[in-house]
Amino acid sequence: MKKYLLDLRVKSVERIHERYVLIKLTDDKPLPEMLPGQFVEVRVDGSPATFLRRPISINFVDRERNELWLLVATIGDGTRRLAVLTQGDILNCLLPLGNGFTPAKVGERVLLIGGGVGVAPLLYMGAEMQKTGIEPTFLLGARTAKDLLLTNIFNMYGRVYVTTEDGSEGEKGFVTNHSILQQEHFDRISTCGPTPMMKAVARLARDRGIDCEASLENLMACGLGACLCCVEKTTEGNLCVCKDGPVFNISRLLWE
Amino acid sequence: MADLSVKIKDLALKNPVMTASGTFGYGLEFADLMPLDGIGGIIVKGTTLKPREGNDYPRMAETACGMLNCVGLQNKGVDYFCEHIYPQIKDIDTNMIVNVSGSSPEDYAECAARIDALEKIPAIELNISCPNVKDGGMAFGVTCAGASSVVKAVRQAYHKTLIVKLSPNVTDISEIARAVEAEGADSVSLINTLMGMAIDIERRKTLLSINTGGLSGPAVKPVALRMVWQVAKAVRIPVVGLGGICSAKDAIEFLMAGATAIEIGTANFLDPAISIKVRDGISDWLDSHGCQSVQEIIGVI
């Protein structure tokens, strides 16, 4: 897929949680082709303590409105600077990067499991699946009810099941505890979220013989597979999360 | 339009802008984002005789105005390069230069010899900042003896343009430059990264898997510039300058300090098309200052 370096224009920045903002971007030209699971390397201007671009997954693409959505966890100087962008500001983006999730096939029962800000790329994945006539099932986990992100939007694209660690919404516990995993059979799982969560999902998938892929997040510099900083050890040696990933089938990862 | 062409011995560059090893892959990774034939040369990823897995993750840490890396020369080895990568890059219309690393003078020489046989690779850049596994892991390039031993061995095996990339982690870089010039280097490029470190205070651990790593980016520019200036006065062979170059203005500083050509490295991560912008900026500056050729500003300081 062709890569572009674009000065995108900020349409809106919405603080949806004390730790998260939803940034909607647009361009004068139609946005380029991009796949669910791919990401964007965002240049942060006006942040003296930071230097490199920030890799942010593609949360959603609205072709009619020509919008690209980025769900950003404001956890450091760079991301906090992104949170104070306003309408009309320019955000220079290198996109689309990475390999993306495996497209779903008609008839396949696909479960999209996410936690924390890791839910972000699953929204675009589910939306694209729905377009091809496949209904996605989302299983989203958070510590507590207020940490569940964009659930009303997820609901527009498929069935949504939720877990919270304190039981304040949905089923109590981790995503791997949810009853849907006992009640229904799935052909494939795509997961994105904190590494311990993804490892637990991978364990479950392996035990049940369910094909599973995980979206990793390693520290990156170039985002293009050139500098070899973001490598993950796999069955094929060190591979770049930015180019050979971020999505890897769990059979290639050296988890456990 | 000023003449931007420069020469490093027999190596003709259409303009003085090259991309640094380890920051531009094999060029192809950037093909969507900039015209690869627009710059004077691309120095590809460090290549070793045998394949190397490199160091464990994490291999990088962001710093103020820069970054640390400890990638550890991950590459599939020279044979893989010759068989699989060379065919894909040999027809890129610029100087495709291979960076060569090794753990012994014999390894360096053998690797260089195999690259010598590749018709469309006109030059190699020797990375002598690698640890000498026989000498307790001390880098070849931190002593005159170590640097000389590598260049001497490679010079016998390699017959095209030989650029030697110097380490700045030394007491007197001019001394090292003179030593490699004496062994037949056609050019020296400097600087490689400065040794640095970073710590996560909450986890009470270093941020890099091998604790220390190489610092690059704007933070190192004043050191690099000073060293280029000193080395350009110490040797007769052309000097290639690198270290924190992010703009045409930066590049011109290095040219004025005595560099015949420059390399852009870390800046590629901020802007994949920066090398083209720097080329155009140098051209614009020369035009607006009434210079007919880039040669008029090389070494004026």
Per-position pLDDT tens, chain B of length 301: 999 999 999 999 999 999 999 999 999 999 999 999 999 999 999 999 999 999 999 999 999 999 999 999 999 999 999 999 999 999 999 999 999 999 999 999 999 999 999 999 999 999 998 766 666 667 899 999 999 999 999 999 999 999 999 999 999 999 999 999 999 999 999 999 999 999 999 999 999 999 999 999 999 999 999 999 999 999 999 999 999 999 999 999 999 999 999 999 999 999 999 999 999 999 999 999 999 999 999 999 9
* Minimal-distance CA residue of chain B relative to A242: B29
Q: What's the CATH code of the domain at A256?
A: 2.10.240.10
Tell me the longest C-alpha to C-alpha distance in chain A.
Answer: 51
Residues A134 and A226 in one domain: no
d(CA B296, CA B299): 8
Segments forming the whole domain that contains residue A223: 218-256
Question: Taking CB atoms and an 8 Å limit, are A51 and B63 in contact across chains?
Answer: yes
Q: Do A5 and B273 touch (CB under 8 A)?
A: yes
At A9-66, the pLDDT tens digits run 999 999 999 999 999 999 999 999 999 999 999 999 999 889 999 999 999 999 999 9
Q: Is A103 inside any structural domain?
A: no
What DSSP assignment string belongs to B261-300? EEEE-THHHH-TTHHHHHHHHHHHHHHHTT-SBGGGTTT-
Closest C-alpha to B77, from B85, B88, B69, B89: B85
Q: Which chain B residue has its CA at the smallest distance from A234's CA?
A: B53
| Predicted pLDDT of residue A254 | 97
Looking at the structure, tell me whether residues A203 and A116 fall in a common domain: yes
Q: Are residues A211 and A223 in the same domain?
A: no
Q: What distance lies between CA B13 and its chain's CA centroid?
A: 15
User: Considering only CA atoms, which of B220, B271, B254, B169 is closest in space to residue B63?
Assistant: B220
> Per residue, what are the HEC states of A35-97?
CCCCEEEECCCCCCCCCCCEEEEEEEEECCCCEEEEEEECCCHHHHHHHCCCCCCEEEEEEEE
The verdict on A206 and A229 lying in the same domain is: no
Distance CA A108, CA A142 (A): 26
The pLDDT score that the predictor gives to residue B204 is 98
pLDDT tens digits, residue range A108-155?
999 999 999 999 999 999 999 999 999 999 999 999 999 999 999 999
| H or E element that contains B242 | strand B239-242
Q: Which residues of B are catalytic?
A: 130
Among the candidates A70, A97, A124, a domain finishes at A97
One domain, residues A77 and A167:
no
Give the pLDDT of residue B132: 63
How many angstroms separate the CA atoms of A93 and A117, rounded?
20
The CATH number of the domain holding residue A179 is 3.40.50.80
Same domain, A54 and A87: yes
Closest chain A C-alpha to B178 CA, distance in angstroms: 31
Tokens 């991301």 belong to A79
- Asked, for residue A102, whether it belongs to a domain, the answer is no
pLDDT of the residue at B138: 73
Q: Which amino acid is at A182?
A: Q
- From the candidates B220, B270, B271, B276, which should be mutated to test the interface with A, based on the most A CB atoms within 10 A? B270
Same domain for A188 and A237, yes or no, is no
Q: Copy the structure tokens of residue A252.
A: 């290639």
Interface size, chain A vs chain B, as Cβ–Cβ contacts under 8 Å: 96
pLDDT bracket for residue A256 (50, 70, 90)? confident
If asked whether residues A157 and A182 sit together in one domain, one would say yes
Q: Is A52 in contact with B269 (Cβ distance < 8 A)?
A: yes
Q: Are residues A207 and A114 in the same domain?
A: yes
**pLDDT for res B130:** 73
In this structure, CATH architecture of domain B6-296: Alpha-Beta Barrel (3.20)
ipTM over 0.90: yes
Q: Please give the average per-residue pLDDT across A149-170, as a whole number.
A: 97
Last residue of a domain, one of A97, A127, A156: A97
A88 and A150 both lie in a single domain: no
- Contact status of B57 with chain A (Cβ, < 8 Å): yes
Q: Which of B179, B186, B194 is nearest to B227 (CA)?
A: B194
CB contact under 8 A, B60 and A229: yes
Q: Is A105 part of any domain?
A: no
| Residues A56, A76: Cα–Cα separation, whole Å | 13
CB-nearest to B272 from A94, A232, A237 is A94
Helix segments in chain A, DSSP class H: 77-83, 120-131, 151-154, 180-183, 195-208
Cβ pair A247, A100 in contact under 8 A: yes
Q: Do A222 and B23 touch (CB under 8 A)?
A: yes
So what's the pLDDT on residue B134?
A: 64
Q: Which pair of tokens denotes residue A129?
A: 């699946």
Which alpha helices (DSSP H) does chain B contain, by range?
78-80, 86-89, 105-116, 144-157, 173-182, 221-234, 248-256, 267-270, 274-288
β-pairing, B123-127 vs B194-197, is unpaired
CB atoms within 10 A of CB A90: 14
* Chain A residues inside the 8 Å CB shell of B30: 224, 226
Q: Is residue A206 part of a domain?
A: yes
Q: Which of B29, B32, B56 sits opposite A226 (nearest CB)?
A: B29
A210 with A239, same domain: the answer is no
Return the H-helix or E-strand segment holding B195.
strand B194-197
Burial (CB < 10 A; 0-12, 13-18, 19+), residue B260, is buried
Locate B128 and state its tokens: 């002598």
Q: Per the structure block, which two tokens stand in for A182?
A: 């006992």
Pairwise CA distance, residues B255 & B296, whole Å: 10
Residues in chain A: 256
Encoded tokens for A123:
């929204």
- Please state the domain extents for chain B: 6-296
Domain count for chain A, please give it.
3
Does residue A60 lie within any of the structural domains? yes
Do both A115 and A209 map to the same domain? yes
Rounded to 5°, the CA angle B79-B132-B123 comes to 45
Contacts of A38 in chain B (CB under 8 A): none
